[in-house]
């Protein structure tokens, strides 16, 4: 029994010694590992040293008051709104100036008249009828002699000089010298106009071809 007790106590002593040695060795290793590491300076103001060892100026944290922050935000919002409003007003003013500078083209005034040797040709209106362009016209003879017309001699061209085919209705083949107006129409299919904007008419008598009744720049758009 005595030998067992001494053996047990010896083992406990060895274990205690081994534990103490391990703790001391671990503490030494940790201290070596942490050597050179210091606690960071968390103070709000620091005296920083420059790269050349000179003392830099002290930087201080400045806290803005809540009232000033609110005022600055309101000024920023109001300033942006004013700028947007001003930009919109300027844009509207510019558009108004552009519109005022863009004068509307003058409208065609009727009748459009051409006369030669007492014979008068008038265009009273230009209108659309189905798929055709219709010109309402009239002829009047204020001369001393009757005048004959062959309407196949009616020459119609657009602003590009293209010759257009047309048909006439109710216009007299012979125009007596009674100063009376004789009304009729000239019909041109839209398919022949091909985006033309103006046309010109030229009519002469038959067979002498002494008259030159000509009307230019009749707007059709």
Q: Give the tens place of pLDDT for each residue, 150-178.
A: 998 899 999 988 998 899 999 999 999 99
Return the pLDDT at 71: 77
Does residue 9 register a pLDDT over 60?
A: yes
pLDDT for the residue 73: 76
Name the residue among 118, 113, 116 with its Cα closest to residue 177: 118
Res. 44: pLDDT tops 60:
no
- Per-residue pLDDT band for 193 (boundaries 50, 70, 90) equals confident
Confidence (pLDDT) at 187: 93
- The domains of the chain are located at 66-102, 112-219
What mean pLDDT value characterizes the chain? 78
Task: Please compute the mean of the pLDDT values over residues 97-114 and round it to a whole number.
Answer: 67
pLDDT of residue 181: 93
Tell me what percent of the residues of the chain surpass a pLDDT of 90: 30
Average pLDDT over residues 109-114: 90
pLDDT tier for residue 51 given thresholds of 50, 70 and 90 = very low
**What per-residue confidence (pLDDT) applies to 63?**
61
Q: What is the mean pLDDT of residues 125-148?
A: 92
Work out the pLDDT band at 97, boundaries 50, 70, 90: low
Evaluate if residue 40 carries a pLDDT over 70: no
Closest CA to 190 of 135, 137, 133, 150: 133
Per-residue pLDDT band at 69 (split at 50, 70, 90) = confident
pLDDT at residue 157 in the model: 92
In this predicted model, which residue has the larger pLDDT, 88 or 50?
Answer: 88
Please identify, in words, the CATH class of the domain defined by 112-219.
Answer: mainly beta
């Amino acid at each position: 029994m005595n030998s067992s007790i001494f053996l047990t106590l010896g083992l406990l002593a060895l274990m205690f010694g081994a534990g103490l040695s391990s703790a001391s060795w671990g503490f030494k290793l940790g201290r070596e590992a942490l050597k050179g590491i210091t606690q960071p300076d968390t103070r709000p103001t620091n005296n920083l040293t420059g790269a050349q060892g000179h003392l830099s100026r002290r930087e201080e944290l400045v806290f803005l008051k809540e009232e000033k922050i609110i005022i600055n935000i309101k000024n920023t919002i109001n300033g942006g709104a004013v700028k947007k409003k001003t930009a919109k007003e300027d844009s509207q003013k510019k558009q108004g100036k552009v519109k005022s500078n863009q004068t509307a083209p003058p409208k065609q005034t009727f009748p459009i008249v051409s006369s030669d040797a007492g014979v008068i040709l008038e265009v009273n209106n230009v209108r659309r009828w189905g798929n055709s362009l219709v010109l309402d016209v009239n002829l009047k003879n204020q001369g001393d002699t009757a005048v004959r017309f062959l309407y196949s001699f009616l020459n119609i061209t657009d602003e590009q000089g293209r010759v257009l085919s047309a048909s006439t209705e109710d216009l007299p083949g012979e125009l007596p010298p009674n100063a009376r107006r004789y009304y009729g129409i000239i019909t041109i299919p839209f398919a022949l106009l091909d985006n033309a904007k103006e046309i010109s008419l030229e009519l002469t008598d038959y067979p002498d071809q002494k008259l030159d009744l000509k009307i230019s720049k009749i707007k059709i758009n």
